[in-house]
A and B are shown apart, each in its own frame.
Chain A
Amino acid sequence: MHVPDGFLDLPTSIATGAVAAGAVGMALQRAEREVKEAGAPLAGLTAAFVFAVQMVNFPVGPGTSGHLMGGALAAVLVGPWTAVLCLTVVLVVQGLLFADGGLTALGTNVTLIGVVTVVVGYLVAKALLGVLPRRSGSVVPAAVVGAFVSVPAAAAVFVGLYLVGGSVDIPVGSLAAAMLGWHSLIGIGEAVITGAVVGAVVATRPDLVYVARHLRPDLVLTGPDGETSVVRPDALRVERTTSRPLAVGLAVSLMVAGAVSLFASADPDGLEFVGERLGFGASAADSAVAGSPLADYGVVFVDNPLLSGALAGVAGVLVTVALGFVLTRLARGRDEPADATRV
């Protein structure tokens, strides 16, 4: 879901660029603590890993495959701040070298894929780990739920951005239903793959999993006189958590507010409001009553905007699934053997 140029207007793009720059700047400061020992090489290799993983096509169902976005996975494995940097770098490379995602939309893409998925995935996983029993078996379910939530969360933020800076007056209900419905499906795929990968890493090198660091066994030091002392591995790291709860709380409340207002504005009043804000009040106010997507097809139940929104969502999902299926078939027919190298 790399947003291209022209999808959002210039002021919105500049605003998301500012948000992205702020988040990356913050991550640059904080990431040094997460990867103090190996710094830039480690982050660069992790970015290369995310980049490679996005090229791996996983089987999702019979005949269909998907690939990972990797925000939640990176956050769980190397910590949120390093993950923000890695995803940002991947998006910069994709935008500049692969024309994947517009250059003026780079801020939007970094905000959605590099920040929202990472932060939401990490916070959810971390919150679950606080509730679940303290053992390594809890890491996988936490990562799964984090990955699942992260994708529709990014879609919800995208819908919000589109309402502010999109160029077409799509009914809010339709857009939200289509985006959230489809991205919930993608989220299931993301969750399954993330869980499987995290499970594999936890099974072999649990010490590398960032969110599982608190599970590492205590270090028992025995002195020359036989006296033992216990050192918590966390204690070796300089943790400062003064401003983190504040930022976390802010992020959570923003997410919740965004999601709630989305659902709240799915009724005609919300649509009119958005229409007026976007400056085409007359046509939007008119269309809120008469112009629901299927109105001209004379479907009986089309007066219900929520239902028609849901219908449009289902239609969008079906079209995308069908298209993905066809593309997969075409791609598979063309180059059966190799596909892993893009760089």
Chain B
Amino acid sequence: MGGAHGDGLLVAADSPVHSLPAQCKVVALLVGVAGVVATPPRQWWAFVVYAVLVGAVVAVARVPVPTVVRRSVVEAPFVVFALLLPFIATGPRTEVLGLSLSESGLLGAWNLLAKATLGVVAAIVLAATTTPRDLLGGLDRLRMPRLLVAILGFMIRYAGVVAGDLQRMRVARESRAFRGGHLRHLRVEAAGVGSLFVRSYERGERVHQAMVARGFTGRMPALATAGASGRQWLVAGALPAVAVAVALSAWVVA
């Protein structure tokens, strides 16, 4: 990572999941997670099925499990919230290990942990098997507004550059014997961020001028991405189809 042309969080491998078009994967992820979210939390078996499905995708995509675990740290704040739920929720209470816990709070904690974890792992698989460039093409294919795709593209393209700017300013500060980390250093670090904004803004203007000089007329050219074949949609759709079926039968059972 860090390079302007980096492949982001891609875990390079040659797997069926990697070779699916990005638009198929995004739609499959969205539908699958929607199915998971719609499942009544009391139907434990449904979540076991989901976990097996997601685990199978991780295995097929050959994403290393430690990578998945490391990246799922983003979930941490809500894990804390989930762990607090049994204590702060109301309703009938039950004794667990001498603590008085709310039943609905326990159920809510389970609900949140299970659904959020499944969603996070599924999204990690998407990021690990798709280059940002393919993702852009996929979103374009999915009719995301052209201007938004363009902004997204410039952001992904320049995130490394802007982060590099930031890094150089930090190196410059610290090579002048600056050690931050205290409230009184806020002004220095804020000045750095302020000048980062000025640099980013001016770079944006320069990029635009360079584009105009090369014949840019105000419309972004379409991203040349291949469409997905019916077979690819079928392959990508298999998993969310199972997830939706499980969600529906969980509703019927409940």
A residues sitting closer than 8 Å to B (CB atoms) are 1-2, 4-7, 9-10, 13, 24-25, 28, 31, 37-49, 51-53, 55-56, 58-62, 65, 77-78, 85-86, 88-90, 92-93, 95-100, 102-104, 166-171, 174-175, 178, 192-193, 196-201, 203-205, 208, 280, 283-284, 287-288, 291-293, 296-297, 312, 316, 319-320, 323, 327, 338, 340-343
Residue among A6, A77, A312, A338 making CB contact with B88, cutoff 8 Å? A312
In the complex, which residue of chain B has the Cβ closest to the Cβ of A50?
B155
Residue among A43, A55, A56 making CB contact with B189, cutoff 8 Å? A56
Residue with the greatest number of chain A CB neighbours at <10 A, chosen from B76, B102, B158: B158
In the complex, which residue of chain B has the Cβ closest to the Cβ of A170?
B89
Q: Any chain A CB within 8 A of the CB of B91?
A: yes
Q: Do B91 and A283 touch across chains, with their CB atoms under 8 A apart?
A: yes
Q: How distant is the Cα of A279 from the Cα of B182 in the complex, in angstroms?
A: 50
Taken residue by residue from 196 to 214, chain B's Cβ proximity to chain A (1 for < 8 Å, 0 otherwise) reads as 1110110111011001000
> Nearest Cβ distance between residue A45 and chain B, in whole angstroms?
4
What does DSSP make chain A's interface, helix, strand, loop or mixed?
Answer: helix
Q: How distant is the Cα of A96 from the Cα of B8 in the complex, in angstroms?
A: 11
Q: How distant is the Cα of A44 from the Cα of B2 in the complex, in angstroms?
A: 17
Q: Do B204 and A60 touch across chains, with their CB atoms under 8 A apart?
A: no
> Nearest Cβ distance between residue A1 and chain B, in whole angstroms?
8
Q: What residues of chain B lie closer than 8 Å to A45, measured between beta carbons?
A: 154-155, 158, 162, 200-201, 203-204, 207
Q: What residues of chain A lie closer than 8 Å to B153, measured between beta carbons?
A: 44
Q: Any chain A CB within 8 A of the CB of B252?
A: no
Q: How distant is the Cα of A341 from the Cα of B26 in the complex, in angstroms?
A: 26
Residue with the greatest number of chain B CB neighbours at <10 A, chosen from A10, A28, A340: A340
Residue among A43, A200, A338 making CB contact with B195, cutoff 8 Å? A200
Q: Do B75 and A200 touch across chains, with their CB atoms under 8 A apart?
A: no
Q: Do A52 and B162 touch across chains, with their CB atoms under 8 A apart?
A: yes
Residue among B91, B156, B181, B186 making CB contact with A287, cutoff 8 Å? B91
Q: What residues of chain A lie closer than 8 Å to B124, measured between beta carbons?
A: 99
In the complex, which residue of chain B has the Cβ closest to the Cβ of A204?
B198
B residues sitting closer than 8 Å to A (CB atoms) are 1-2, 6, 8-9, 26, 29-30, 33-34, 36-38, 41, 71-72, 74-78, 80, 84-85, 87-93, 100, 102, 104-105, 107-109, 111-112, 114-116, 118-124, 126-127, 132, 135, 145, 147-148, 150-167, 170, 180-183, 185-187, 189-191, 193-198, 200-201, 203-205, 207-208, 211, 218, 220
Residue among B34, B78, B155, B187 making CB contact with A44, cutoff 8 Å? B155
Q: Do B152 and A89 touch across chains, with their CB atoms under 8 A apart?
A: yes
Q: What residues of chain B lie closer than 8 Å to A24, measured between beta carbons?
A: 145, 148
Q: Do B80 and A319 touch across chains, with their CB atoms under 8 A apart?
A: yes
> Nearest Cβ distance between residue B182 and chain A, in whole angstroms?
5
What does DSSP make chain B's interface, helix, strand, loop or mixed?
Answer: helix
> Nearest Cβ distance between residue B143 and chain A, in whole angstroms?
12
- Given contacts A52-B163, A58-B186, are A4 and B119 in contact (CB under 8 A)? yes
Q: How distant is the Cα of A283 from the Cα of B161 in the complex, in angstroms?
A: 55
Q: Do A65 and B89 touch across chains, with their CB atoms under 8 A apart?
A: no
Q: What residues of chain A lie closer than 8 Å to B80, measured between beta carbons?
A: 319-320, 323
Q: Do A283 and B84 touch across chains, with their CB atoms under 8 A apart?
A: no
Residue among A93, A104, A316 making CB contact with B152, cutoff 8 Å? A93
Sample of 11 A–B contacts (CB below 8 Å): A4-B119, A5-B116, A38-B208, A45-B201, A46-B197, A47-B155, A56-B189, A89-B155, A100-B74, A205-B198, A208-B198
- Given contacts A104-B30, A196-B190, are A47 and B91 in contact (CB under 8 A)? no
- Given contacts A6-B111, A104-B37, A319-B84, are A99 and B201 in contact (CB under 8 A)? no
Residue among B102, B148, B208 making CB contact with A89, cutoff 8 Å? B148
> Nearest Cβ distance between residue A88 and chain B, in whole angstroms?
7
Q: Do A40 and B154 touch across chains, with their CB atoms under 8 A apart?
A: yes
Q: How distant is the Cα of A262 from the Cα of B157 in the complex, in angstroms?
A: 42
- Given contacts A40-B154, A45-B201, A99-B120, are A168 and B85 in contact (CB under 8 A)? yes
Q: What residues of chain A lie closer than 8 Å to B107, measured between beta carbons?
A: 167-168
